[in-house]
Amino acid sequence: MGHDADDRALLAAHVAGDPDAFGVLFSRHRDRLWAVALRTTGNPEDAADGLQDGMVAAYRRAGSFRGDSAVTTWLHRVVVNACLDRIRAAKVRAADPLPDDLDDSARRGAVVRSDAAPAIVPRAPDDPADLALVADRRARVLDALSRLGADQRAALVLVDMEGYAVAEAAAILDCAVGTVKSRCARGRARLAELLADLVATADPPIAPPAGNRRAPGDVPSPGDPRGPPTVAP
């Protein structure tokens, strides 16, 4: 099966016994799946395990794909569920840090997109005192995000950080659109409570671009220590 085959053809070829098709499919979506796993779990080690678990599950259960969604939506659903299973099983402490590369997303205005909890990371200053203030604020933001429940955090990762439409996030999380909206609203409200003092004193927030979506390659590169691992089903 060639690299120019569409996702459905690759998945069908894998089910039919093509030994290379799944590898081509995974390589095509690897960076995006890694980014979602990284932000859902909060650290590279758990993200690598979650991605590995998800891809093994997808490899083995490819025949169960019903075709009622895009293949990439199905892959994201499997990976996110694997990551959430790991979070719940390990009872991850609320103070566990989020990925170091989250500040890159913040500079793009993608930390929180909500009137209730506006982005509060100011533009990078040059003054050392201001730099210290930015670092403190960033630590506060990361700590607040880490206190969200797994389901709320997953919804906010997909909608507010990865730029998915609510309907797409609902398909990935395998729940109703209203459930995603509710999880995002509760998560944003909680962030607004935790970060109320920063919201009141922050510089004007950086407005996120309409329909902000992370580009497929806009994640740590494979050569980066935090980059996506090689998954061998």
**Domains in the chain: boundaries:** 7-90, 102-201
pLDDT of residue 40: 85
Q: Which CATH architecture has domain 102-201?
A: Orthogonal Bundle (1.10)
Give the pLDDT confidence score for residue 181 in this predicted structure. 96
> Which DSSP letter does residue 126 get?
S
- Mean pLDDT per 10-residue segment, the chain (233 residues): 75 94 94 89 87 95 89 93 86 51 44 36 54 72 76 89 90 92 93 80 44 41 49 56
pLDDT at residue 106, rounded to an integer: 40
Q: Which fold has domain 7-90?
A: Rna Polymerase Sigma Factor; Chain: A (1.10.1740)
| Separation of alpha carbons 4 and 2, rounded Å | 5
Closest alpha carbon to 10 in 2, 58, 69: 2
Instruction: Give the pTM.
Output: 0.63
* CATH topology match: 7-90 vs 102-201: no
Radius of gyration of the chain (CA): 18
| Among 18, 7, 15, CA closest to 61 | 15
Q: Is 69 strand, coil or helix? A: coil
pLDDT attached to residue 18: 94
